[in-house]
Amino acid sequence: MNFVRQSLALLRMNLEGERARIGSVLTIVIGVTCTVAVLVSMLAMGTGAHRQAVAGVRDDEVVIHSQGAQIVQSNISRDELVTVRDLPGIARDSDGQLEVNAEVMAPIEGRWRGTGRRVFFALFGTSDAKLEPPARLTDGRTFRPGLHEVIATNACVRQFDGFELGAKREVRGIDWPIVGHFDQGQSQQCVVLTDSETLMTAFGRNGYNQITVRLNAPSDYETFRRALEAKPSLHLEVKRQRDSVEERFKQFNGLLNFVSYFIGTIMAIGATFGAVNSLYSIVDARRRELATLRAIGFGGVAIVAATLVESMVLALPGALLGAALAWSFFHGMAVSPFGFSFQLDVTPHLAEIGIAWALMMGLIGGLLPALRAARVPVTTALRGT
């Protein structure tokens, strides 16, 4: 108990004296602030992109692709679609229609609004012209099957040229008018939809990229999967929609997180050197106090502990400030650094990571100065001027 009491007394004394060493304290705070702000902002990219990707995911939906293929290479024949529609466990909508959506993906080209830079994105063909929540039509009407009509998200209108209502997109030598605008929740992604059969005809395609199936209940997945795998004529594989999205995201997020932590680590190392310097000068300024304390019986361990806690306490405001800065500057900001747009998402979890990072910097940075504080030679320090 004596040790704890001593440490706490020391800590209080140290923190009360901090005002006199404002320069050193600010060095620590600013160093930690910059590091945490950068780390949290960069991690917020991955979080934001991930949140957007899983936003529309439903647990009762499964996606079907060709065996071993991602959506882009997948090629599902019409015969296979017919067989899939006969599988058990598929839900029906209010009109009694099976909830099976065969989708086609074709590349189209757009131009960024303002800069006119070229960008490629997907035109999706779907066999289901109804929009399901959270997607909802905000303007115009939906496309009619058999006609060359498309609908686009409002994000397209904001980001790219030529997506206004009534504008015509030229695709494969045909003019496709924009007949409606829709929103997909908070998503910033530009999505353009049309009828899948019309799109396949225009591109001379004979297969679908993906089939999305809604099951009666999420628990029907295993039954559905076994039934699908039991059909020898099907060269398809089924995944839960969530797993499929997560899989596609894993590599992207892995790279992003690696870069974030890499830069975060290097900045932390730099800031820690700065903190060590500041803490040394704080300890040095206290030599006589420390020597006096040792002389009246304070233990070395208590001094080490108090200095370590002090340095962590000094790192804390930087962490909070850094997370707050990241939040106020970047939370909700729409960016498109990888060719697609999403909003940065600064979550409490990221703030926690930032705080943990800062405490780590405080702990490591405080080690050497704490040892020096405990080793102050009593006699010379008291004798010196």
Partner 1 sequence: MKFLPLIWSGIWRKPGRTILIFLQVSVAFALFGVLQGLRTGVEHAVDAQRADLLLVHSREAFFYSLPLGLLEQIRSIPGVKVAVPVELSGGYYQKPENGGVGMVAVGTDGDWTAAFTFNIAPQYLAALVGSRTAALAQDLTAEKYGWKIGDHIPLVTRTPQKDGSTTWAFDLVGTFTDSDAGGGNSKILINFAYYDQARATETGTVNHFNVAVTDPRLAVPVADAIDRRFANSSHETKTESLRELAQVQVQRIGDLDFLIRAVVSAVLAALLFATATMMMQSVRERTPELAVLKTIGFTDRTVFLLILVEAVTVCVAAAAVGLALALIAFPFAARLVLGIAMPKVTIAIGLALAAAVALMSAAVPATRAARLRLASALAER
**Residues lying near partner 1 in the complex (CB under 8 A):** 23-24, 26-27, 30-31, 33-35, 37-38, 41-42, 68-70, 73, 75, 107-109, 115, 117-120, 170-173, 204, 206-207, 255, 259, 263, 266-267, 269-271, 273-274, 276-278, 280-281, 335-339
| Residue (9 or 108) nearer to partner 1, CB | 108
How crowded is residue 74: how many other Cβ atoms within 10 Å of its Cβ?
22
Least gap, CB of 358 to partner 1 (angstroms): 13
Least gap, CB of 88 to partner 1 (angstroms): 28
Interatomic CA distance for residues 187 and 134, integer angstroms: 10
| Residue (271 or 370) nearer to partner 1, CB | 271
| Residue (8 or 34) nearer to partner 1, CB | 34
| Residue (203 or 347) nearer to partner 1, CB | 203
Instruction: Give the HSE-up count for residue 17: Cα atoms under 13 Å, Cβ half-sphere.
Output: 14
| Residue (119 or 360) nearer to partner 1, CB | 119
In Å, what is the CA distance from 169 to each residue of 112, 115, 160, 182, 341?
14, 19, 12, 17, 21
Least gap, CB of 240 to partner 1 (angstroms): 19
User: Which residue's structure tokens are 């903190």?
Assistant: 275
Least gap, CB of 90 to partner 1 (angstroms): 26
> Phi then psi for 215, rounded to 5 degrees?
-95, 165
* CA dihedral sign, ordered 26, 28, 29, 35: positive
Which residues in 128-167 are b (16+ Cβ under 10 Å) and which e? beebeeebeeeebebbeeeebbbbbbbbbbebbeebeeee
Least gap, CB of 48 to partner 1 (angstroms): 13
Least gap, CB of 39 to partner 1 (angstroms): 10
| Residue (135 or 340) nearer to partner 1, CB | 340
Interatomic CA distance for residues 201 and 239, integer angstroms: 28
